[in-house]
Structure 1
Amino acid sequence: MKPLPSYWTFDRFIRNLDNALLKKLMQSQVLKLSKMGIIDTSFIALDSTPISANTKQNNPKSFAKNKFAKGNQPKSDEDCGLGVHTASNQHNERNFEYYWGYKNHILVDCITGLPIFEMTTTADVADSTVVLDILSQTNDFLSIEECTFFADKGYDVKAIYNAVKDIYHGECFIPINKRNTKNPKKLSTGHPICEAGLAMHKDGKFSDNGRTRQKYCCPFKRSKSGCCPCNHKNWNNGKKTRGCTKYVTLPDDY
């Protein structure tokens, strides 16, 4: 048996080989498996995995200053990007590390675990920004109509939900990404509670940057004899419109 090619031989082969050939080969294999009934797109999932660049700046034993500064591009790999990788998908996860490199985004068949499509980007590309392209390119050679799409909280973006529902007539199952959002006190009806502990009143809707927002006002706003129990700073402002206000964005997706 002949020995395996050296690392440098393999590296030269990868660099000189047209990536389009590898993509075409993968597509032909996926279509073959689909015709054999081994894989389908009823349940699909997408995730990414980090690929570290071959640079000393990724070496944990390197104590160089600013090795993860955006302007400190590795000389050994001028194409890679600066990314961050967390140990888990918990919203309060603080165990993360920076790295120079790439991301491999892989769409898989959930039942068999076999890959259907892959895309490699630099590490600084957000996972959610490539989803629509991946789904579109996959659908070009293998239909994903009426699929059930799974992903982690990094993909909790409205455009993804709407695309899966409206374009592919499927469903999404993605955990909510809290993104440091506030959680104000509300009644079961959705009315916010003011600082005085009173239910606020609806005061009209308006559109703002493509979203619909519900305005809530102080319950004593139009009262001639009422007085703010907590003496809010906006109550005695000398204006006709008195009291505190809150805004709630109304969801327009499914």
Structure 2
Amino acid sequence: MPKQIHRKELIAIYRQQIIQDIRLFTSQPVAKFYDSLFLNLDLSFVQEYPKTGRKGFSNHAMICAFIVMKCEGFPMITDLVDYLNNNLLIAHYCGFDISLPLPSYWTFDRFLKDFDHSILSYIMQSQVLSLAADGIIDTSFIGLDSTPVSANTSQNNPKSFLSNKFQPDNQPKADKHCKLGVHTASNQTNEKKYEFYWGYKNHVLVDCISGLPIYEMTTTAEVADSTVALDILAGTHAFLPVTECTFLADKGYDVKKIYNQVKELYDGECIIPLNKRNTKNPKLLPQGNPICEAGLAMWKDGKFSDRNRTRQKFCCPLKSSKDADCPCHHKNFYNGKKHRGCTRYITIADDLRLSIDRNSRYFKSSYFLRTECERYNSRFKNTGQERMWVRNKSSVANLNTLAHISLLAVAIAAVTGNSGQSYRKLKSLKRTA
């Protein structure tokens, strides 16, 4: 009998030791991956604890925890809390004291809302400069694109059949900061599909060679992409020069001011498709003269300038004829005026926007590099950033920046560790760490 009791006690002791060994409950490649990730993450310039008041949790540990959240692709803070409590070794690598209770949901939520966003932006800038010093990031070819970020509101639910859910004056009660935006549901030029949503936009400037982010900005959803492009370029140039860059963007950025400032301020060039803005393409002769509805070649009738553009005027060839009649009986030919008939106006390509040959091989091969923006946006969405579960702009902006910091931290760890794996493949790095 005593021997049996002694054996049961030993089994209980062994079982307790197994439970206390946190390494047995965490995948070792994953734990090694996060250990390498945080060793190569420089947070020395971030104040760890407040100077006054309660000490609380370390800012370094909280930032590392959110990096874990984005690397695991968790959209909700509750997923992060459960993951850290079930993987204490990773919580230890983050910097938490695992002998004490870990932060609660409300602690993480309050950190996101109150933490200074400029500190996170500075962390991202230091990562970009580190990769630029290693020759990974370069500003020769840079692309700008925006990603829609849906707000945490029931009005974004596709199963909601409310008729007024996308009315501009019907502000969601759950998130007072979000705005109504629209994004295209297809990249095909001959398809006009679009969707409305309440939320935000994350504008990202990407190195189109390495496929890594350089600068980011979060705005509300109603902000047009072209209105923030020059601010993003100026913000990037402040810490990483973009002189002589090739700026790539889609037709949403086809604005004359962008072409001019990229050329004048940075001595660069723009590779942007022409946004025709509902203009019609008239039939032209090889000499450049348009053809009227009656099939006649129109005559030049002088030039004039307005709104910083020069336009060539073309008139009806029969406008001064006394006996001729319009073959198609155009209404303007019978208006009783001396100079009758239809007119056409063609803008003369005297600016940078219209002087680009968009059918050339150089333009097409350069614009093909912009696909790196789409690839990076896909990786950004995989971190759980396609829809927000926080409900204020400050939290959304901080979480967006933390997602970019996470992907840059993965790239730095891959380059520093010489693992042989691509720094773009997060899952492969976690498996083979």
Corresponding residue for residue 152 of structure 1: 250
Partner in structure 1 of residue 308 of structure 2: 210
TM-score, normalization by structure 1: 0.93
* Mapped contact 1:89–1:152 kept (Cα < 8 A): no
Structure number with greater CO (CA < 8 Å, separation at least 6) is 2
Aligned partner letter, 1:147? C
Conservation of the 8 A alpha-carbon contact between 2:226 and 2:252: yes
The answer for the alignment partner of 1:220 in structure 2 is: 318
Give 1 or 2: higher helix fraction. Answer: 2
C-alpha displacement of 1:231: 2.8
Q: How does 1:58-137 map to 2 (within 5 A)?
A: 58-137=156-235
What's the counterpart of residue 270 of structure 2? 172
Q: 1:20-47, CA deviations, whole angstroms, 9 ceiling, x for partnerless residues?
A: 1111111121112212211110011010
- Among 189, 194, 200, the alignment partner of 2:292 is 194
Q: Deviations over 1:59-99 (max 9, x none)?
A: 12222230110000011111111011222322233332211
Which structure features the higher share of strand residues?
1
What is the aligned residue count?
254
1:36 corresponds to which letter in structure 2?
D
For residues 104 and 207 of structure 2, what CA distance do their matches in structure 1 show?
33
Equivalent of residue 146 in structure 2, options 31, 48, 57: 48
| CA displacement at 1:131 relative to structure 2 | 0.5
Give the conservation status (yes or no) of the 8 Å contact 1:85–1:97.
yes
Deviation at 1:183, TM superposition (A): 1.4
Which whole-Å CA distance do the structure 2 matches of 1:8 and 1:183 have between them?
A: 58
Unmatched tracts of structure 2, length 5 or more: 1-21, 23-83, 86-90, 92-102, 353-433
C-alpha offsets along residues 112-156 of structure 1, whole Å, 9 cap, x if unaligned?
Answer: 111000011000111111111111111111110111111112112
User: Is residue 16 of structure 1 aligned with residue 114 of structure 2?
Assistant: yes
CA deviation after TM superposition for structure 1 residue 199, in Å = 0.7
TM-score, with length taken from structure 2: 0.56
Identity %: 70
Q: RMSD in angstroms over aligned alpha carbons?
A: 1.7
**How far apart, CA to CA, are the structure 2 residues paired with 1:167 and 1:67?**
43
Change (3 A) 1:9 1:61: farther
Supply the distance in 1 between the matched residues of 2:269 and 2:181 (Cα, whole angstroms). Answer: 30
Whole-angstrom distance in 1 between the partners of 2:265 and 2:120: 28
Aligned to 1:181, the other structure's residue is in SS state: coil
CA–CA distance in 2 between the matches of 1:166 and 1:204? 31
Distance 2:325 2:195 in 1: 53
CA contact 1:86–1:93 (8 Å) conserved in 2: no
Q: Specify the code of the residue in structure 2 equivalent to 1:87.
A: A
Supply the distance in 1 between the matched residues of 2:314 and 2:193 (Cα, whole angstroms): 39
Cα distance in 2 for residues equivalent to 1:195 and 1:220: 13
Counterpart CA distance in 1 for 2:303 and 2:104 is 66
